[in-house]
A and B are shown apart, each in its own frame.
Chain A
């Protein structure tokens, strides 16, 4: 068990090296993670489905290829045999895909998402599907129809959302890597509150084909990991053009791994966004943020201040565009072709009423709220004032970013205004919940890439704080370049990865911390 514990704490990059050197086998690694899942997921609930047999079979195949040597072994992807968890919003053949919703309970996709095809091509064992807010609508994972995920730092707290399952899985050493999706911060905000790394690529940088759509013009799939380099490695697997996604960028993928390995900020201009810190941000978050600025300055970066005055409209515009698109994207869940069908309790048995009963029973409150809000924003007489205006705000936000990137190479802010809050604390206050995404939403609105990395622990509660880096569209490499530098400076200060400070979860002294579960 000790040996396995060492295995699961290795970074994906380190695992890849040891696998290539045949110091360890992919089956050992995969089994170690499956054992860890068995040991702690009862408390964390990061997984909705564990895919042990297939994962072990893929691992065994990688081991066999390596053992045989020759060209096939040479051609193996660098991450071959490194396991990964997949957010349950992304469709997979051979495993259920639920989107965290009752309406898709037990549904098996007959096709693979493009990113899943790419994981399979790289021969990365898929450990299973991770929990999320229903249809990725939420910031806490409490809106999952299958129960919330718990933050490994404190099991009574939220792991962020919507991708709380992927972030918690990585933070709890249940997976070295995971896939997330980010519509308004669903990769970055969970990264921030769990002390992990998460990247939202440039819109169009990773194919959306097979990611169950919430808001088509905002959604992006991205990597979730424990280190900046690991995210770059995974980004490189999943990124690049896909002809099945019309919004996929035709550009060739940059060498993100090289950017992460050769991080250097000397002479770079790093812009603090005036509107994204200060008032409304927890003191401990501000402190860690300022500390990061000092470290970057010490490493030779020039810190400048930029203003993005229209960001104040971003949250409002987001809560018009996102539900509008979602109301249409979720119309297909009607009990005709797949998923749940519920018959009305009484009255005439027409398809219209069956659809109404199915959607009433199959969707949770937050999903219904957003569908109704989106239906409202698109309906006759309101379109121009709501959806139309929100799209204009999008233009203003893009202009703010353009101006800011005239002055700075990358922008920096806290990822979330607070550390992880208690489960249930904001569940009945949708607006308070929505405010969690205030710093992450502008990137989705403008399509620019963003990365969140751990910035330390807040003084007042000892919980992780996230630092967000933003770069111009198509300049994802800059995030890895700056992120890797900041990560190494911080880890030098901490004396190791931040997650070394997280509770072990198998230690009985810690389980009392989250004892009420």
Chain B
């Protein structure tokens, strides 16, 4: 398993949409390297014959009947919005181009 370096952290921060300063990237890379090193034994713990467990208590087919329930008013929907306009959430431009 490859060690985690500063460039990896920069890429991960971009994927996770967290802006990070150069200093923060360095610090995070150092901390993560230690953590990743301590968890790497996990990849050797179980053989191919061991199935994965995604839910601690297995259930299947938990469904909802197709019956309409409660809805919000536009006012409720937008009550926590940082910015809104005419009943909709307002966000800055998606693309940086004209």
Residues of chain A whose beta carbon lies under 8 Å from any beta carbon of chain B: 107-108, 110, 202-204, 217-218, 243, 246-247, 249-250, 310, 313, 315-317, 319-320, 327, 331, 334-341, 343-344, 348-357, 359-360, 363, 368-369, 371-373, 375-376, 379, 382, 385-386, 388-396, 398, 430-431, 444-448, 473-474
Contacts and interface: CB of A to CB of B under 8 A. Distances in A.
B20 A360 contact: yes
B57 A349 contact: no
B41 A369 contact: no
Most buried by A among B40, B82, B92: B92
B15 A369 contact: no
A110 B75 CA distance: 11
A391 B93 contact: no
A349 B44 CA distance: 45
Given A316-B39, A317-B39, A393-B42, 10 more contacts: A110-B80, A249-B59, A334-B17, A350-B94, A351-B91, A351-B92, A369-B31, A372-B18, A389-B43, A394-B56
Contacts of B94: 350-352
A133 to B, nearest CB: 17
B56 A217 contact: yes
A385 B12 CA distance: 17
B79 to A, nearest CB: 6
26 contacts: A110-B79, A110-B80, A202-B57, A203-B56, A204-B57, A218-B56, A316-B39, A316-B42, A319-B39, A331-B17, A334-B17, A337-B81, A338-B80, A341-B82, A351-B91, A368-B28, A372-B13, A379-B15, A389-B45, A391-B54, A392-B45, A392-B50, A393-B45, A393-B46, A395-B51, A446-B56
B68 interface: no
Contacts of B42: 313, 316-317, 320, 386, 389-390, 393
A430 B54 CA distance: 26
B43 A359 contact: no
The 3 A-B residue pairs whose C-beta atoms are closest, nearest first, are: A447-B56, A338-B80, A392-B46
A92 B8 CA distance: 39
Given A110-B72, A341-B83, A249 B57 contact: yes
Nearest to B39: A316
Contacts of A355: 17
A431 B16 CA distance: 22
A477 B89 CA distance: 48
A160 to B, nearest CB: 21
A108 B79 contact: yes
B18 A398 contact: no
A473 B9 CA distance: 39
Contacts of B20: 360, 368
A14 B17 CA distance: 51
Contacts of B83: 341
Contacts of B52: 388, 391-392, 394-395
B19 A431 contact: no
Nearest to A202: B57
B64 A243 contact: yes
A316 B94 CA distance: 39
A148 to B, nearest CB: 20
A332 to B, nearest CB: 11
B86 interface: no
A496 B45 CA distance: 46
A218 B54 CA distance: 10
A336 B57 contact: no
Given A338-B81, A473-B57, A375 B92 contact: no
A376 B5 CA distance: 11
A204 B59 CA distance: 10
Interface string B42-72: 1111100011111111010010100000001
A430 B35 CA distance: 8
A431 B81 contact: no
Nearest to A330: B16
Nearest to B8: A376
Most buried by A among B38, B42, B51, B83: B42
A108 B94 CA distance: 28
A398 B1 contact: no
Contacts of A356: 17-19
A350 B13 contact: no
B46 A395 contact: yes
Contacts of A447: 55-57
A247 B55 contact: yes
Contacts of A335: 82
